[in-house]
Amino acid sequence: MRITYALMNANGMGGTVRTINTQVAAMADAGHEVELISALRWRRNPGFPYHPAVRIRHLTEAGSGVLDDGPSPEIPEGEPFRHRFTPGVVDAVADAFSRLDTDVLITTRPALNLLAARHAPEPVIRIGQVHNSIVQLCGDLRPAVAAEYRRLDAVVTLTETDRLGYAGLLGPGVRTAALPNALHSLDEPRCDPASKVVAAAGTLARRKGFPMLIKAFAQVVARHPDWKLRIYGHGPGRERLQELIFRLHLYNHVHLMGQSERLSAEFAKASVFALSSRREAFGMVLAEAMSQGLAPVSFDCPFGPREIITHGRDGLLVPPEDTDALAEALCRVIGDGAERARLGAEAARSTRARFGPRSQLEAWESLLADLRAARLTTA
């Protein structure tokens, strides 16, 4: 089957790019003819190496002036990266979609999903992948999604909870499916359960809740002063986080590590992973840390953690935004080495079994076969 994926920036280093990198590799290994369209090339070289059989096509260049104009009126407010979908970028994507000669088009963010619904040829099976939770549909984006995603052949979410939300929003006429992200590799190093390091990772933005984690860790340090917290990532909130660390006198215990291109090697130096997000579409970084044997402690936020962690078996879930509960759970795994090792071992076993690199290939191929059969039935 000829399958075309579309990303905003295929050379980026975000979670969606890494996830699609894994998907296209699995599809190529399975014998499909795979092309990847990148709406915008933001950096010269890929952040992650792609499968050699995957063809990559960049439509526009960030340094060419294509971003000089404001956002295209075709993209509704509420699309988080609306500022990058300028008229030049949108025109390039719309033209490329309208000329596609492929069996399937899989798009990966709201702007691209809407452009696929509007411009991709009718014979092409159009699938909109959702990498953000439905609660993030705000502004004019929600009514646009409700009206125009109905033109897609399917909408694929990362969690069952999100799938139910989209099914309710779009109605019975749209096929929905929940297909979680797959781990990029099962060859990453395992952690040391004796390490006295808690790891966390993500964009330094409000939705990741790092101020709550830092405040919780102040309570941890009072009971376990020999433990450290390392936060990996970059973003607009770094300065405020650094100020909070100094205000709480945690400069010897909490460290902002910046973005790492080899995050798995950093995770291997820790024994506990903390997720303090206010919301997650899935929580890929949580699954990755668990696959390396880190004992996870997470807010039970919408929507992903509860579909990754089974509380008490392979990790601990605490009420959303409850800083005291987060601190207490961290102290539980920090203070009990046997419990920490048990949770980490079970976390590695469960995530590797459920989310291996090819874990969703069969489900994806089954969905594609069903959609093709439905097209032939209605032709």
* CATH code where residue 215 lies: 3.40.50.2000
Statement to judge: residues 159 and 43 lie in one domain: yes
Residue 271 lies in a domain: yes
Q: What is the pLDDT of residues 261-274, one digit of tens each?
A: 789 999 999 999 99
- Helix (H) / strand (E) containing 274: strand 272-275
pLDDT range class, residue 169, cuts 50, 70, 90 = very high
Identify the domain containing residue 262 by its residue range.
197-355
Look at residue 377 in the predicted model and tell me its pLDDT. Answer: 78
From CA 341, how far away is CA 9, in angstroms rounded?
Answer: 39
The span from the CA of 116 to the CA of 124, in Å, is 10
What is the per-residue pLDDT across 327-346, written as a single tens digit (0 to 9) for each?
A: 999 999 999 999 999 999 99
Give the model's confidence band at 379: pLDDT under 50 very low, under 70 low, under 90 confident, else very high: low
User: Are residues 154 and 8 part of one domain?
Assistant: yes
162 with 242, same domain? no
Residue 223 lies in a domain: yes
Q: Cα(first)–Cα(last) distance of the chain, in Å?
A: 19
Contact between 176 and 155 under an 8 Å Cβ cutoff? The reply is yes
* Residues 372 and 247 both lie in one domain: no
Residues 249 and 367 in one domain: no
| Structural domains of the chain, count | 2
Q: Clarify whether residues 124 and 272 are in a common domain.
A: no
pLDDT attached to residue 330: 98
Domain shared by 204 and 311, yes or no = yes
| Same domain, residue pair 325 and 276 | yes
Looking at the fold, whether 6 and 141 belong to one and the same domain comes out as: yes
Considering the domain architecture, whether residues 33 and 102 belong to the same structural domain is answered as yes
Domain presence at residue 191:
no
Residue 337 domain-assigned (yes or no): yes
Identify any residues that bridge with 7 across adjacent strands, giving them in sequence order.
38
pTM, to two decimals: 0.87
Judge whether 190 lies within some domain: no
What is the average pLDDT across 9-35?
93
Say whether both 137 and 169 belong to one domain: yes
Query: Does some domain include residue 188?
Result: no
68 and 146 fall within a common domain: yes
